[in-house]
Structure 1
Amino acid sequence: MTEHFSFPTLLQMLDERSAAFRAAVAAAPSLDADVPSCPGWTLYDLANHLSEGDRFWAYIVLNTAPGDEWPSKDGLVAPREREALITWLADSTEQLLAALREAGPDRACWAWWQPLASLHTGAAVARRRVHESLIHTYDAQLASGAPQELPTTEAVDAIDEFLATVCTNTVPWPHEPATMDYHAAEGGSWRQTVDAAGNRFTRLTAAEAAESKPTAAIYGTASEMALLMYKRVPNDALRTEGDADLLERLQNSG
């Protein structure tokens, strides 16, 4: 079962995932390579997006408060020469890490998600950026033709964080109430519930997971499960039991 990581561990993970992204960019045959998992984007576009996000959130954690209007981005564009781009990426990550260290884990800030299972704090931003970098590193590797499985520790937390940040909300579910269970082979099970009250999740114990009778359930490695949630692998890539259409309805609801 996933545990919440300490703030220093999240910062270390963010640094490591960002370094892995830069390594994928450095190894790619061309910055003009298409990114299959991000249709219409080249590897350069992906790198510009990730660096823009790092700089955007660096500003947010130090300069905003919950309830503020959606902040504008700085409009800076990453350089197109590979060596300069890699330096730009490293500087972007360092700006974010420095801002997070200054803000600390508990400082409140603006965020786009509802603060239900994931709060509007520096720690939640750090966790969100770990997984943004995690998934986009996979995208960059895919553009080079050499995708790798997600590291297990980060992948397990990516499942939990996705359910907490991306999924949890109070938007009424327009269909019949349903439950979806996710079972990661390395350990960890979660139940997502959707009904008139919205979308929420719980972490299941091993006993609860064994006895559960959800509307549908998905089984796979943590890497496969996280990639599925981010629509990086097709829905039929993992074993599903129960209502085969529930996953697509969930994906189309957000």
Structure 2
Amino acid sequence: MLNNLHFSELLRLIDERSTAFRAAIAAAPDLDVQVPTCPEWTLYDLVQHLGVGRRAWAATVAAGATATGKAEPLGDPVAPTEREALDAWLAESTRLLLDALTDAGEDGPCWGWWGKSQTPLTVYGAARRQLHEIAVHTYDAQLAAGAPQPVPVEIALDGAEEFLCTIGTTTEAWPHEAAVVDYHATEGRSWRSLLSEQGSRLGAVPADAPEPADATAAGPANELLLALYGRIPFDTLKLEGQRILFDQLFEWDPER
């Protein structure tokens, strides 16, 4: 990791974003509305996905080194349809996840699908992944409810880096000519992705880099995060250099 948040901060922010998600759901006039950024889902479907997913990850974290895949969810796996019960079910989903993360401790082993990436197979790595899945789905819920808000800068900066580490790195060979791609957040953070036969690796942009990157993407952290997750068009960002590299990156889906 390049700029780790403290484990306690991850837990605090998971709780904070989960509360924001519940607030968006409570404010929505109708749970049958489609989610524009997940068009195959209604808002209720999004709630079901987020809640049962956190329950499954709570069980996975608790299983530690014995887990060979994502575990079956803890508790009731079906979201209620009545609003008050639904809010309580979501709150319990968050509590189960946070309790499991706290009990396991940040250095404990944890199964993850990202084994070929730079993100460690630890409870810390799982907590960081959980924070940003919740954060992006909170934006989805706010958008569906008609009141989208920017992802807070602290979360968006860490989320961009976590995406590039977890989803953007692998030991599988890059199938095109070797390249260097830089990402810049206007809030002052930058990352460099090295693409080669050895795979994709992420690091900081060297202050004395002898050559410029082959392509760059720049913008506010919120827009960078949402563009990486496909929530807004990637060309919302300022793109320079060989823009085809970004198309190739999004088409590339090596088994991780």
- Tell me the TM-score range normalised by the shorter chain: over 0.9
1:21-75 Cα offsets, whole Å, 9 max, x none, are 0011111121111101112101111111111111111111111427x53234348
* CA distance in 2 between partners of 1:252 and 1:72 (Å): 29
2:246: which partner in 1? 247
User: CA-to-partner distance for each residue in 1:140-179, whole Å, 9 max, x for gaps?
Assistant: 0110122111100000000111111112111111111111
From the superposition, tell whether residues 212 and 94 of structure 1 become closer, same or farther in structure 2 (CA, over 3 Å).
farther
Residues 226 and 212 of structure 1: is their aligned pair in 2 closer, same or farther, counting only changes over 3 Å?
farther
SS at match of 2:193: strand
What is the aligned partner in structure 1 of residue 150 from structure 2?
Answer: 149
Given that 1:31 and 1:82 are in contact with CA atoms closer than 8 Å, whether structure 2 keeps it comes out as no
Of residues 140-149 and 90-99 in structure 1, the stretch that sits farther from structure 2 once superposed is: 140-149
> What letter is aligned with 2:246?
L
> Secondary structure at the residue paired with 1:41?
strand
| Change beyond 3 A, Cα 1:147–1:208 | farther
Closer, same or farther in 2 for the Cα pair 1:212/1:52, shift >3 Å? farther
- Residue 134 of structure 2 corresponds to 133
Q: Which residue of 2 aligns with 1:188?
A: 189
* Matching residue of 2:68: 69
Task: In structure 2, list runs of 5 or more residues that go unmatched.
Answer: none
1:26 aligned residue: 26
In structure 2, what is the Cα distance between the partners aligned to 1:153 and 1:99? 24
Secondary structure, counterpart of 2:167 in structure 1 = helix
TM-superposed CA distance for 1:120, in Å, is 0.9
Equivalent residue letter for 1:197: Q
Q: C-alpha distance in 1, partners of 2:23/2:211?
A: 42
**For structure 1, which runs of at least 5 residues remain unmatched after alignment?**
none
Cα distance in 1 between the residues matched to 2:116 and 2:127: 15
Q: Is the 8 A contact 2:116 2:171 kept in 1?
A: no
Question: What is the one-letter code of the residue matched to 1:53?
Answer: G
Distance 1:45 1:191 in 2: 36
> Is 2:223 aligned against 1:235?
no
Secondary structure, counterpart of 1:218 in structure 2: strand
* Equivalent position of 2:4 in the other structure: 4
Code of the aligned partner of 1:176: E
Amino acid of the structure 2 residue aligned with 1:222 = A
> CA shift at 1:126, angstroms?
0.9
1:95 paired residue number: 96
The 5 A counterparts of 1:210-221 are: 213-221=212-220
Q: Identity percentage over the alignment?
A: 48
Length-normalised TM-score, structure 1? 0.93
Q: How does 1:161-200 map to 2 (within 5 A)?
A: 161-200=162-201
Between the aligned partners of 1:40 and 1:105, the Cα distance in structure 2 is 35
Contact 1:114 1:168 in 2 (8 A): no
Pick closer, same or farther for the CA change 1:208–1:224 going to 2, 3 Å: farther
Q: Contact between 2:227 and 2:234, CA under 8 Å: does it hold in 1?
A: yes
| Superposed counterparts of 1:196-207, under 5 Å | 196-204=197-205, 207=207
Partners of 1:188 and 1:204 within 8 A in 2? no
TM-score (norm. length: structure 2)? 0.93
Partner of 2:45: 45
- Give me the whole-angstrom Cα distance separating, in 1, the residues matched to 2:179 and 2:81: 47
Of residues 185-194 and 2-11 in structure 1, the stretch that sits farther from structure 2 once superposed is 2-11
